[in-house]
Amino acid sequence: MPGTALTTLPRSLPQALGRGMRGQCPRCGGAALFAGFLKPVERCPACAQDWTLHSADDFPPYVSILLTGHIMAPVIIALGLHTSLSAPAMMALVALMALVLLIGLLRPAKGGIIAFQWWMGMHGFAPRPGKREALGD
Protein backbone atom coordinates (compact mmCIF):
# COMPACT_ATOMS: atom_id res chain seq x y z
CA MET A 1 0.00 0.00 0.00
CA PRO A 2 1.45 3.41 -0.90
CA GLY A 3 2.82 5.47 1.95
CA THR A 4 3.41 2.57 4.34
CA ALA A 5 6.91 1.49 3.27
CA LEU A 6 8.51 2.86 6.45
CA THR A 7 11.18 0.14 6.60
CA THR A 8 12.72 1.44 3.38
CA LEU A 9 13.25 5.00 4.65
CA PRO A 10 16.90 6.02 4.29
CA ARG A 11 18.91 5.84 7.51
CA SER A 12 21.18 8.75 6.60
CA LEU A 13 21.60 11.74 4.33
CA PRO A 14 24.25 9.95 2.19
CA GLN A 15 21.81 7.07 1.59
CA ALA A 16 19.06 9.51 0.54
CA LEU A 17 21.53 11.41 -1.67
CA GLY A 18 22.70 8.16 -3.28
CA ARG A 19 19.15 7.18 -4.11
CA GLY A 20 18.43 10.61 -5.58
CA MET A 21 21.65 10.66 -7.59
CA ARG A 22 20.84 7.22 -9.04
CA GLY A 23 17.41 8.54 -10.08
CA GLN A 24 15.50 6.54 -7.45
CA CYS A 25 12.95 7.89 -5.01
CA PRO A 26 15.04 9.27 -2.11
CA ARG A 27 12.33 8.30 0.39
CA CYS A 28 11.81 4.61 -0.48
CA GLY A 29 14.26 3.76 -3.27
CA GLY A 30 11.55 1.61 -4.82
CA ALA A 31 10.60 3.65 -7.86
CA ALA A 32 12.03 6.12 -10.35
CA LEU A 33 12.35 9.73 -9.25
CA PHE A 34 12.22 11.12 -12.79
CA ALA A 35 9.40 10.91 -15.33
CA GLY A 36 11.55 12.55 -18.03
CA PHE A 37 15.24 13.41 -18.29
CA LEU A 38 14.99 16.13 -15.63
CA LYS A 39 11.29 16.19 -14.75
CA PRO A 40 10.57 14.46 -11.45
CA VAL A 41 7.45 12.36 -11.06
CA GLU A 42 4.64 14.22 -9.30
CA ARG A 43 4.15 11.44 -6.75
CA CYS A 44 6.19 8.30 -6.08
CA PRO A 45 4.17 5.25 -7.21
CA ALA A 46 5.72 3.15 -4.42
CA CYS A 47 5.55 5.41 -1.33
CA ALA A 48 3.25 8.26 -2.49
CA GLN A 49 5.79 10.98 -1.62
CA ASP A 50 4.83 14.24 -3.34
CA TRP A 51 7.87 15.41 -5.36
CA THR A 52 6.23 18.58 -6.69
CA LEU A 53 7.35 20.24 -3.45
CA HIS A 54 11.02 20.41 -4.48
CA SER A 55 12.59 23.65 -5.56
CA ALA A 56 15.86 22.65 -7.24
CA ASP A 57 15.54 25.58 -9.69
CA ASP A 58 18.88 26.31 -11.40
CA PHE A 59 21.09 24.74 -8.74
CA PRO A 60 21.57 21.41 -10.65
CA PRO A 61 23.16 23.17 -13.67
CA TYR A 62 25.35 25.17 -11.29
CA VAL A 63 26.58 21.96 -9.63
CA SER A 64 27.06 20.30 -13.01
CA ILE A 65 29.11 23.22 -14.35
CA LEU A 66 31.19 23.42 -11.16
CA LEU A 67 32.02 19.69 -11.23
CA THR A 68 32.71 19.70 -14.97
CA GLY A 69 35.16 22.60 -14.58
CA HIS A 70 37.00 20.86 -11.75
CA ILE A 71 37.15 17.57 -13.66
CA MET A 72 38.13 19.13 -16.99
CA ALA A 73 40.89 21.44 -15.71
CA PRO A 74 43.43 18.66 -14.99
CA VAL A 75 42.35 16.83 -18.16
CA ILE A 76 43.04 19.93 -20.28
CA ILE A 77 46.41 20.42 -18.59
CA ALA A 78 47.35 16.76 -19.10
CA LEU A 79 46.28 16.88 -22.76
CA GLY A 80 48.39 19.99 -23.28
CA LEU A 81 51.45 18.48 -21.61
CA HIS A 82 51.35 14.90 -22.83
CA THR A 83 49.83 14.99 -26.31
CA SER A 84 50.73 16.74 -29.52
CA LEU A 85 47.17 17.50 -30.62
CA SER A 86 46.58 20.51 -32.82
CA ALA A 87 44.65 23.41 -31.26
CA PRO A 88 41.44 22.72 -33.23
CA ALA A 89 41.60 19.00 -32.36
CA MET A 90 42.20 19.82 -28.70
CA MET A 91 39.30 22.32 -28.68
CA ALA A 92 36.96 19.80 -30.30
CA LEU A 93 37.98 17.05 -27.88
CA VAL A 94 37.68 19.27 -24.80
CA ALA A 95 34.31 20.69 -25.92
CA LEU A 96 32.95 17.19 -26.54
CA MET A 97 34.19 15.91 -23.17
CA ALA A 98 32.78 18.96 -21.38
CA LEU A 99 29.40 18.58 -23.09
CA VAL A 100 29.17 14.89 -22.16
CA LEU A 101 30.11 15.67 -18.55
CA LEU A 102 27.69 18.60 -18.28
CA ILE A 103 24.74 16.62 -19.56
CA GLY A 104 25.76 13.45 -17.72
CA LEU A 105 26.04 15.18 -14.36
CA LEU A 106 22.81 17.17 -14.64
CA ARG A 107 20.39 14.43 -13.67
CA PRO A 108 22.43 13.03 -10.75
CA ALA A 109 22.87 16.62 -9.50
CA LYS A 110 19.13 17.26 -9.65
CA GLY A 111 18.32 13.95 -7.95
CA GLY A 112 20.83 14.68 -5.21
CA ILE A 113 19.49 18.19 -4.66
CA ILE A 114 15.89 16.96 -4.48
CA ALA A 115 17.00 14.27 -2.00
CA PHE A 116 18.84 16.89 0.06
CA GLN A 117 15.82 19.19 0.14
CA TRP A 118 13.57 16.29 1.15
CA TRP A 119 15.96 15.08 3.88
CA MET A 120 16.36 18.57 5.30
CA GLY A 121 12.60 19.25 5.20
CA MET A 122 13.16 22.28 2.98
CA HIS A 123 10.41 24.07 1.07
CA GLY A 124 7.16 22.09 1.31
CA PHE A 125 8.72 18.79 2.45
CA ALA A 126 7.89 17.52 5.91
CA PRO A 127 10.80 17.22 8.38
CA ARG A 128 12.88 14.05 7.90
CA PRO A 129 11.90 10.90 9.81
CA GLY A 130 14.34 11.40 12.72
CA LYS A 131 13.24 15.00 13.21
CA ARG A 132 9.58 14.00 12.80
CA GLU A 133 9.89 11.62 15.77
CA ALA A 134 11.64 14.30 17.82
CA LEU A 135 8.73 16.63 17.11
CA GLY A 136 6.30 13.99 18.39
CA ASP A 137 4.69 13.44 15.01
Binding site for Zn ion (CB under 5 A): 25, 27-28, 44, 46-47, 49
Q: Which is nearer to Zn ion, 4 or 84 (CB)?
A: 4
> CB-wise, 46 or 109, nearer to Zn ion?
46
Minimum gap (Å) between residue 137 Cβ and Zn ion: 19
CB of 28 to Zn ion, least distance (A): 3
Nearer to Zn ion, 24 or 64 (CB): 24
> Which C-beta is closer to Zn ion: that of 2 or that of 130?
2
CB of 60 to Zn ion, least distance (A): 20
Beta-carbon neighbour count of residue 65 at 10 Å?
16
Give the nearest distance from C-beta 42 to Zn ion in angstroms. Answer: 12
